[in-house]
Structure 1
Amino acid sequence: MNKVSVVILNWNGADMLRRFLPSVLICSAGDGVEVCVADNGSSDDSCRMLEQEFPAVRLIRLDRNYGFADGYNKAFEHVDAEYVVLLNSDVEVAPGWLAPMVKYMDVHPEVAACQPKLLDWKRKEYFEYAGAAGGFIDRYGYPFCRGRIFEVVEKDKGQYDAPVSVFWATGAALFIRLDKYREVGGLDGRFFAHMEEIDLCWRLRSRGYKLVCLPESVAWHVGGATLKKENPRKTFLNFRNNLLMLYKNLPPEELRPVMRVRACLDYVAACVFLLKGDWANFRAVIQARKEYARLRPQFKADRQENLDKAVGFNVSGRFPFSILWQSKLLGHKKYSDLPLK
């Protein structure tokens, strides 16, 4: 058994692998550490390139594109390690990035997963949208981070360099105990992509495990390498999967009131797209709500299992306020501006 398996999921990303895989190999070298690439049925020359240019990397060939969620579930069937890292193919890592996470997890068995500080590869002094210095959600399921609220991304001035308990850890560089990943069912493959790591983290948190951000470990993420921001497909997946995540995990007394408010907020978002003349994203939001209504019965058993296995619903990191209200109406653009106590 390896101590750590760093697993990069790839789909037609030969150029990304050429650019970023060398830093992962150099900075992850150590006893008991392996670097794997799980290929999601690529049609480019990714596999041939890996075999010829990166023979030290273990190649896991999947027979088709399973998406981000099931792609990792399938890949981990071929992995035997205490810890695994879900690492995007467009991430550069700092020297020694694994050591702080291994050290912390080894002495904190109550912690199921952690993440490094995630910075923007294009503007390296800024946090990166997809995870920054640790993730949280508001009452209505909207995610935000230390260092990022909606479109406002902060400059890293060391203001979030203290380790902190978080509600969710970024899927761009998620360090997790493999047995805990499997215990809670892994990523939900029905999500395909987007929101799946927050859903996974919610299950871990509700079952009593902790998650942390360890800023001593650093990585830089390109972001948007697969689907650009406000791509209609990304909009559809984010809205649909967020609703499914809420349905799967919300406490019974919150389900109806939260979902009523979310319906209003989603239609407001659709109208904003419409007023901008963005018909594609308007349709994506409407279609996401229709698809959520169609799929919801298929998730009833998952919801019941999550409720049955929860050790408590008052999970820290899920805040009772609306981040939309705090940010858009009250002008609280930074994590440090929020009423967190």
Structure 2
Amino acid sequence: MNTSPLISAIVVSYNTRDMTLKCLRALKADLAGMPSEIWVVDNASSDGSAEAVEREFPDIHVLRSGRNAGFGAANNLAMAQARGELFLLVNSDAFLRAGCAAALVDCLERHPDAAAAGPRIIRPDGSLQISCFRFPSPARAVLENLFVASVFPDHPVLGDYRRWGHDREREVDWVIGACMLVRRKAYEDTGGFDERFFMYAEETDWQKRMRAAGWTIWFTPAGEVVHVGGGSADPEARFNERMFVSLDAYTLKHHGWAGLLVLRSAMVAGCSLRAAGWLIASLFPARRHHAAGRVRRHLRLVVRQALHWRAPGRGALA
């Protein structure tokens, strides 16, 4: 009898051949003994990623998108064909530690209203990567850029998760897409990723829609993933631009033009205050070089947020 697997794991690859293979080795080891299948979506890599996966893992399903379709579109392509009751989405530069998948499954089983769960994520040096966040909003932008959230980090409304140790299971607004387990029913309720987001904010938008549909999102430290970060990403300047364009698109979608104006104004104020602070720090010789770079970075962001306006669409996000 051809029974459906419990988990369909999906890895999106774009010119990350060696890391993709390492990711898949860790993934297969963690899924051993669990009813599962693995899908790799190759976004038109030029480094032989798809061929390398097929050679080493003939049992893995490889989909060639034919273009760099973006993270969300690539995952949608696989989820539309996968058979599992749960979708385990894993970045190609994320390596599951033993027991991670089982911990995520356990979390969803204990919280039947949970659409998705994310694990504790650490960097290669062992330090914690913040992986849970509040939903972006004009009000949240004001709280963060005027440092209210920093003054009240643990407040249930004013605070955020940045100073939290990620050391206990809890409901959160959203978890990053480096590794997340998603319930098929939540996928069917929401239709998957909005493919107008090419990169960044796509998982935020999806989880926003999950919560709007009545689902919850959970974090559990019982599972751990090592995340390299930036495996197929852009240099910092390009990364920042893509991130802000996606944030603009998210804000426009959920809060309209008035909300985008408030968010941009808050970011201009926050970056100006940070630039002023680093300018003062640059007066001290020991910090001058580092501070000067920070001043330039924040001033560039001020200019971008104040002057760079365009309606984000698929063309802007691609």
Q: Does 1:174 align with 2:174?
A: no
Q: Aligned residue for 1:186?
A: 192
Whole-Å separation in 1 of the counterparts to 2:19 and 2:307: 32
Deviation at 1:290, TM superposition (A): 1.7
Deviation track 1:245-266 (CA, whole Å, cap 9, x = no partner) reads 223234xxxx576433212134
Residue 289 of structure 1 corresponds to 309
| Structure 1 position 67, deviation (Å) | 0.7
Partners of 1:237 and 1:186 lie apart in 2 by 21
User: SS of the counterpart of 2:191?
Assistant: coil
Q: What percent of counterpart residues are identical?
A: 25
1:247 counterpart (247, 252, 269): 252
Which letter maps to 2:237? Answer: P
Q: What amino acid sits opposite 1:164 in the alignment?
A: R
CA deviation digits over 1:267-309, x for unaligned, max 9? Answer: 45777599617898677656863243xx49xxxxxxxxxxxxx
In the TM superposition, what are the counterparts of 1:97-108 in structure 2 within 5 Å? 97-108=100-111
TM-score, scaled relative to structure 1: 0.71
Structure 1 residue matching 2:196: 3-state secondary structure:
helix
2:265: which partner in 1? Answer: 264
Cα contact 1:240–1:289 (8 A) shared by 2: no
Contact 2:100 2:224 in 1 (8 A): yes
Structure 2 residue 86 is the aligned partner of structure 1 residue 86: no
* 1-structure distance, mates of 2:181, 2:257: 34
Query: What secondary structure is seen at the aligned counterpart in 2 of 1:117?
Result: strand
**Residue 281 of structure 2 aligns with which residue?**
none
Query: How many residues matched?
Result: 277
CA distance in 1, matches of 2:219, 2:53: 31
1:204 CA displacement:
0.9
Q: State how far apart, in whole Å, the 2-side matches of 1:233 and 1:285 are.
A: 15
Aligned to 1:308: none
Change (3 A) 1:160 1:42: closer
Q: Deviations over 1:64-103 (max 9, x none)?
A: 2101111111121221111001100011111111112212
TM-score, length-scaled by structure 2: 0.76
163-172 or 68-77, larger mean C-alpha shift: 68-77
**In structure 1, what is the equivalent of residue 59 of structure 2?**
56
Tell me the distance in 2 between the aligned counterparts of 1:69 and 1:283.
Answer: 29
- Does the 8 Å CA contact 2:200/2:243 hold for their aligned counterparts? yes
Give the structure with higher Rg (CA): 2
Instruction: For 1:68 and 1:100, locate their aligned partners in 2 and report how far apart those are by CA, in whole Å.
Output: 24
Q: Shift of residue 28 of structure 1?
A: 1.6
Q: Distance in 2 between matches of 1:38 and 1:44?
A: 14
* Cα distance change, pair 54–284 in 1 and its aligned pair in 2 (3 A): farther
Separation (CA, whole Å) in 2 of partners of 1:78 and 1:39: 15
* Aligned pair partner of 1:67 in 57, 66, 70: 70
Whether the aligned pair in 1 keeps the contact of 2:14 and 2:43 (CA below 8 Å) is yes
Superposed, which structure 2 residues align to 1:81-160 within 5 Å?
81-121=84-124, 123-124=125-126, 126-129=127-130, 131=131, 134-137=132-135, 139-140=137-138, 141=140, 159-160=165-166
- The yes-or-no answer on 1:161 pairing with 2:164 is no
For residues 247 and 10 of structure 1, the distance between their equivalents in structure 2, rounded to whole angstroms, comes to: 29
CA–CA separation in structure 2 for the residues paired with 1:85 and 1:10: 15
> CA shift at 1:220, angstroms?
0.9
Once residues 267 and 100 of structure 2 are traced to their aligned partners in structure 1, the CA distance between those partners, rounded to angstroms, is 39
Corresponding residue of 1:22: 25
1:113 and 1:212 in contact (8 A); partners too: yes
Match of 1:211 among 207, 217, 224: 217
Which consecutive unaligned segments of at least 5 residues does structure 2 have?
155-160, 276-292
* Structure 1 unaligned spans of 5+: 297-341
- Provide the residue aligned with 1:238 in structure 2: 243
Aligned to 1:77: 80
